A and B are shown apart, each in its own frame.
Chain A
Amino acid sequence: MKGTDGLLAARLAAGDEPALAEAFDRFGPAVYHAALRVLRNETAAQDVVQDVFVELWCHPDRYDPALGTLPAYLIVIARNRAVDMVRSELRRVARQDRSGRLAAEESPPSPAEEVIASHVAAAVRAAVQLLPDSQRRIVELAYFGGLTFKEAAKVAGIPEGTAKSRIRLALAKLEDELDASLLESS
C-alpha cells in the first residue's frame, strides 16, 4: 500500500469515516496551534480548524503526496485561512470607520454628543501629534483627509503596503495614548 500520508489521503478520498477521525487526531492540534499563532483568538482558530478539515474531507484529491506531507499541507491551508481572516477583519474595520464618518456627517449630533465628540477629537488630534512624522502624515491623509489607503499612499509617495503597515502601527499607538488620555479626563 502507499506511504502513511498517501494511504490516509486515499482512505479520505474513498469516504472512509475513521480516516477523517484519524486525520483529525494526528494533525488537529498542529493545525489549531498554527491558526492560533496567527489569529491570537481561540474562537477564530477553531473556525479555521473546521474549515481546514472540511476542505480536506470534501476535496482530498487537492492534496498531492508528491509535493509534501499531509500535516505540512494542512498547516499551509490553516495559515492561509488565518491570514485571510485577519485581512478580512482589517477590511471590515476600515469599512466601519469610513461608514462611521459618513453617518456622523448625515445625522447632526446632539449638544451632548458634540461636547463628547469635540473632547474625543481634541484627544485624538493631540495623540496624533505625538506620532512619528512618517506615521502622522499618513494617518492625517487617511483619517482627517478622507482619502482611501491607496490614495493616501499615492499622496505620501509610498507603496500602499507601507502605508497600511504605518497606519496599523499608528493606530496601535493611538489606542494606547487615547486610552490613557480619555481615562484621565473621565
Chain B
Amino acid sequence: MTAAGRDQALPVGLRERVLAASLQARAAGRPEPAAPEISPAEAFSRAADAFHGTLGLLDDRQWKVPALRGLDVQGLVGHLAGVEEDVQRGLAGDPGVAGANHIESTQPAADRQAGRPPAQTRAEWRHAADRTIDLVRAADLRTEVAVHGIRVPLGLLLVIRAFELWVHDNDIRAAVALPPSVPDASTLTLMTSAAVGLLPFAVTRAGLSDPLSLHLVLTGPGGGAWDIAVGQGPPAPAAVAIVTDAVGFCRLAGNRITPAGLDSHVTGDEDRATAVLAAVATLALD
C-alpha cells in the first residue's frame, strides 16, 4: 500500500499514536521474550559444562580425529587447557601472556597430549577450567585483564572464553559427525552483545574507514536490535540494515562460516554489508 493510500484508509494520527503506545509498552532493541540474565562467569561455567559434556560423548578413536589447524581432537582440548593456563596468568597480572600469540603460546599444551589416554587430557582441561572458574568467582568483573593481545574487562573476557569453548565444541562435533550445539538463550545473549560491542573495532581494524550507520537485527533466542555507527567521522545518513539469526551471527564471529554462507537479509548497500560481515569474522581468536 502506498503512503497516500494508507493515509486515506486510516484516521489521521493513528499510526503515530499506535507506534508511540507500542514503544512505551516495550522499548525497542530488547528481545521478547527476554532470556533470564546471567553473569559472564555463569556463561563461562555453562560453556565449560557443555564442552565437558561433548568430550564425554567421544570414544578413544574419535579423540584422534583431525579437528582444527592440524590438531586432532585431543590436541585441540590440550590447546584449550593451555588457554586456561594463560588466562590464569593474565588474571595474576603476568605480563608474559599479555602480548602472547593465542596459538603459539598454547602449542606446548596441545603437543603434550600426544600419547596420553584421552581421559587424562579431558581431566587436565576440566581441572584447568575449574581453576579459572574458582579464580573469577569473587573477582571484580570490571578489572582489566591482558592476555593474548587483548586487554578487556574480566566480564567481557569470560564471555569471549565462553564463545571460544562453544566454537571449539562445534569444531569437535563437526569432526566426529555429531550435530552442532547451540548455547542457551542467556549465554547467547551475552555472546551476541559482546560480538556487537566489538563490531566497530573489527570494522576499523579491517580498514573500513568510511562512516556507516548500521542497523543490525539478530533474530531468535539471544537476539536483539542495534543501531551502530561504524567507521570514522560523523555517522553517515546512508544506512545498511542486516537481519540474520543470532546463532548464525555468532558462527560468523567465530569465523566458522563466511558472509556468503550466512542466511541474512540486507537492505542498503550490499557490498558494504558484506564488508562489515567479513570484518565480524575477524573477531575470532581461533
Considering the complex, give the chain A residue whose CB is closest to the CB of B13: A46
Query: Which secondary structure dominates chain B's binding surface?
Result: mixed
In the bound assembly, the distance between CA atoms of A142 and B241 in angstroms comes to 62
Q: Least Cβ distance of B246 to chain A in Å?
A: 8
- Chain B residues contacting A50 (CB-CB under 8 Å) are 17-18, 21
Q: Contact at B21–A60, with CB atoms within 8 Å?
A: no
Q: Which residues of chain B are within 8 angstroms of A1 by Cβ–Cβ distance?
A: 243-244, 263-265
B18 close to A49 (CB less than 8 A): yes
Residue of B nearest to A6 (CB): B219
B217 touches A14 (CB 8 A): yes
A25-B25 contact given A11-B219, A14-B224, A50-B18, CB 8 Å threshold? no
Chain B CB within 10 A, most for which of A7, A10, A42, A58: A10
Across the interface, which residues of A come within 8 angstroms of B10, CB to CB? 28-29, 32
Contact A28 B6 (CB under 8 A): yes
Does any Cβ of B come within 8 Å of A178's Cβ? no
CB-contacts of B1-33 with A (<8 A): 1, 6, 9-11, 14-15, 17-19, 21-23, 25-33
Give the B interface residue count (CB, 8 A): 37
Please give the distance in Å from A16's CB to the nearest CB on chain B.
4
A residues 1-53 in Cβ contact with B at 8 Å:
1, 7, 10-21, 24-26, 28-29, 32-33, 42, 46, 49-50, 53
* A114 at interface, CB cutoff 8 A: no
| Cβ of B223 under 8 Å from chain A | yes
A100 to chain B, nearest CB (A): 34
Which residue of B has the minimal Cβ distance to A25?
B6
CB-CB under 8 A for A15 and B9, given A1-B263, A10-B219, A54-B22: no
Residues of A within 8 A of B15 (CB): 24-25, 28
Given A13-B219, A61-B33, the answer on whether A18 and B27 have CB atoms closer than 8 Å is: no
**B218 beta carbon closer than 8 Å to chain A:** yes
Task: Please tell me which one of the listed residues B1, B25, B217, B219 contacts residue A29 in the complex, with CB atoms under 8 A apart.
Answer: B1
What A residues does B17 contact at CB under 8 A? 46, 50
B225 interface residue (CB < 8 Å to A):
yes
Q: Does A87 contact B (CB under 8 A)?
A: no
Q: Give the number of A-B contacts (CB < 8 Å).
A: 107
Docked-complex contact B32 and A61, CB < 8 angstroms: yes
Which residue from B11, B14, B23 sits with its C-beta under 8 Å from A17? B23
Residue A57 lies at the interface, judged by CB distance under 8 Å to chain B: yes
Q: How many residues of A contact B (CB 8 A)?
A: 33
- A95: interface (CB < 8 Å): no
B117 sits at the interface (CB 8 A): no
Chain B: which residue is nearest A12 at the CB level? B32
Q: When the two chains form their complex, are residues B22 and A20 in contact, meaning their CB atoms are under 8 A apart?
A: yes
A59 sits at the interface (CB 8 A): yes
Task: State which residues 29-82 of B face A: CB under 8 Å.
Answer: 29-33
In the bound complex, do residue A28 and residue B26 qualify as a contact, i.e. CB atoms below 8 Å apart? no
When A7-B243, A29-B1 are in contact, do A16 and B225 touch as well, CB less than 8 Å?
yes
B215 within 8 A of A: yes
Chain B residue numbers with a CB within 8 Å of A29 are 1, 6, 9-10
Q: By the criterion CB–CB under 8 Å, are B30 and A7 in contact?
A: no
Q: Is the CB of B27 within 8 A of A15?
A: yes
Given A7-B265, A10-B219, A15-B27: A46 and B14 interface contact (C-beta under 8 Å): yes
Contact A60 B32 (CB under 8 A): yes
Minimum CB–CB distance from B218 to chain A (whole Å) comes to 6
Given A14-B225, A15-B225, A29-B9: A49 in contact with B264 (beta carbons within 8 A): no
Compute how far the CA of A32 lies from the CA of B17 in the bound complex, rounded to whole angstroms: 13
Q: Which residue of A lies closest to B218 (CB)?
A: A14
Contact: A13 with B21, CB < 8 Å?
no
Cα of A83 to Cα of B265 in the assembled complex, Å = 39
In the complex the two chains form, is B22's CB within 8 Å of A53's CB?
A: yes
Please provide the 6 A-B residue pairs with the shortest distance between their CB atoms, ordered closest to farther.
A10-B219, A17-B28, A29-B9, A57-B22, A14-B223, A16-B225
Given contacts A15-B31, A53-B21, could you give 13 more A-B pairs where the C-beta distance is less than 8 Å?
A1-B264, A7-B265, A13-B31, A14-B219, A14-B224, A29-B9, A32-B11, A33-B9, A50-B18, A53-B19, A54-B18, A58-B25, A60-B32
Residues of A near any B CB (own CB < 8 A):
1, 7, 10-21, 24-26, 28-29, 32-33, 42, 46, 49-50, 53-54, 56-61
A-B contacts, 8 of them at CB < 8 A, read A10-B245, A11-B243, A14-B223, A15-B31, A24-B19, A25-B6, A28-B14, A53-B18
